Amino acid sequence: MTALRRSIGSRRIVVCVGSGGVGKTTVAAAIGLAGALDGQRVLVCTIDPARRLASAMGLGALGNLEARVPPEAFRAAGLAPRGELFAMMLDVKRTWDELVTRHAPDPARRDRILKNRLYHQMSAALAGSQEYMAMEKLHELATDRDYDLIVLDTPPTAHALDFLDAPGRILDFLGNDAARTILAPAAGAGRLGLRLAQLGSATLVRTLARFTGAEMLHDLAEFLRGFQGMYEGFKARAAAVRVLLGQPTTGFLLVASPSPLSIEEALGFHERLQREGMPVAGLVANRVTPGLWRGAGPLPDQAALAAALGADGALAARLGATLAEHERMAAGDAAALRQLFEGVPGPRAVVPRLEEDVHDLAGLAALARHL
């Protein structure tokens, strides 16, 4: 067993992070599959709006439901898992609704929030909403279920760091004291216009109203009033999630491809995890072009290839150019990996660029063998 597999094997939660397009979802699914093959009961949870995991795991719709990958799917792939594999797709809106339902003091309050126009917009579109709900769901799954391993595939954020900052940003929104101070009279009276004059910062609010419209302020006041009293519950929960993420039985798995952008992101995320004392499970360098020309000798020229092949010069020329091109890509990848490995010590795996797309369990199993 590799150091990376040992590191993953010692954890209950593995959070896969990396920039978009590095194959995070596929790596998450492969890790889950490897655990199931070894006898673990594993859940792979993805948030990706492109629903990639679903197709990779041969599953249809996954909306917030943990669905077991059926035995016949394994049989068809020639696999005999000793454990079980489950997959789910996070439904952001539903997770928000569940959270509100759990924290609302009474059904009336719950309904008032669920019906609020701004709530709908926030749960669907507020930046960080997905990430926050991913963590919220992770906490629920980790405490209420008995999986041996939960693999979380994080949303395809522009910056991997967004994932760690999201809960704070949303909590800032829900617990925004400035907004409460400014809007308190509106929230208390229900009619903004009536109370503006009585407010010390009346000019301020009137100017703001010019900017957003008075009704908008009213809606917002109403919304924040709905959340009043629930904020502490949200905050406590977010703190609990933070503790969960910091435990040694949790681990962040950095996934990177050899592109400069991806390496930069991975290094940045690793630095951040170190600074915050978060556990790092390891590193997967994905889609790496392996070198084919071993040894130090110069690449063969067209004449050498033509002679060795007994082939025509035109084919030999194309072969020579293709090998040179391949080695150029391999050398570029190797240099990128050296930079990555220097910055991120610890267990790691290098997965070669697979020319066959991974879209079924057999493909995932093949990928898992590189981990």
Partner 1 sequence: MPGPFLDRRLLVVTGKGGVGKSSVAAALALLASRAGRRVLVCEVNARERVAPLLGAPPSGTEATEVEPGLFTVNVTPATAMREYGLQILKFQALYEAVFENRLVRAFLKVVPSLGELVMLGKILHEARAEAHGRPRWDLVVMDAPASGHAVQLLRVPGAMLGTVPPGPLRSDAEWMRAWLVDPARTAVALVTLPEEMPVVEAQELDQQLREQVGLAPAALLVNAMPEARFTAEETGRLGPLAEAPPPVGPAARAALLQALRAQHAARHLATLRAALPLPTALLPLLASPAWGRAEIEQLAAALAAPGPGEPAWLPAGPAAARAPARRRKGAP
Does residue 76 touch partner 1 according to CB under 8 A?
A: no
Q: List Cβ<8 Å contacts ≥24 apart for 275-280.
A: 276/164, 276/246, 277/246, 278/245, 278/246, 278/252, 279/11, 279/246, 279/247, 279/248, 279/250, 279/251, 279/252, 280/251, 280/252, 280/253, 280/254, 280/344, 280/346
Largest Cα–Cα separation, the chain: 95
The residues in 105-164 that bind partner 1, with binding defined as CB under 8 A, are 117-118, 120-122, 124-127, 155-159
Alpha-carbon distance of 93 to 120, in angstroms, equals 8
Alpha-carbon distance of 153 to 137, in angstroms, equals 12
Least distance from C-beta 105 to partner 1, angstroms?
22
From the list 52, 109, 225, 348, which residue makes contact with partner 1 (rule: CB under 8 A)?
Answer: 52
Nearer to partner 1, 64 or 247 (CB): 64
Nearer to partner 1, 79 or 205 (CB): 205
For residue 35, the tally of other CB atoms under 10 A from its CB is 28
From the list 319, 341, 366, 370, which residue makes contact with partner 1 (rule: CB under 8 A)?
Answer: 319
Does residue 228 touch partner 1 according to CB under 8 A?
A: no
Alpha-carbon distance of 151 to 8, in angstroms, equals 10
From the list 276, 304, 313, 345, which residue makes contact with partner 1 (rule: CB under 8 A)?
Answer: 304
Does residue 332 touch partner 1 according to CB under 8 A?
A: yes
Least distance from C-beta 64 to partner 1, angstroms?
8
Does residue 57 touch partner 1 according to CB under 8 A?
A: no
Does residue 315 touch partner 1 according to CB under 8 A?
A: yes
Does residue 252 touch partner 1 according to CB under 8 A?
A: no
Does residue 46 touch partner 1 according to CB under 8 A?
A: no
Nearer to partner 1, 14 or 54 (CB): 54
CB within 8 A of 323, min separation 6: which ones?
292, 293, 299, 300
From the list 3, 6, 10, 21, which residue makes contact with partner 1 (rule: CB under 8 A)?
Answer: 21
Q: For residue 255, which phi and psi values (nearest 5 degrees)?
A: -115, 130
Least distance from C-beta 52 to partner 1, angstroms?
6
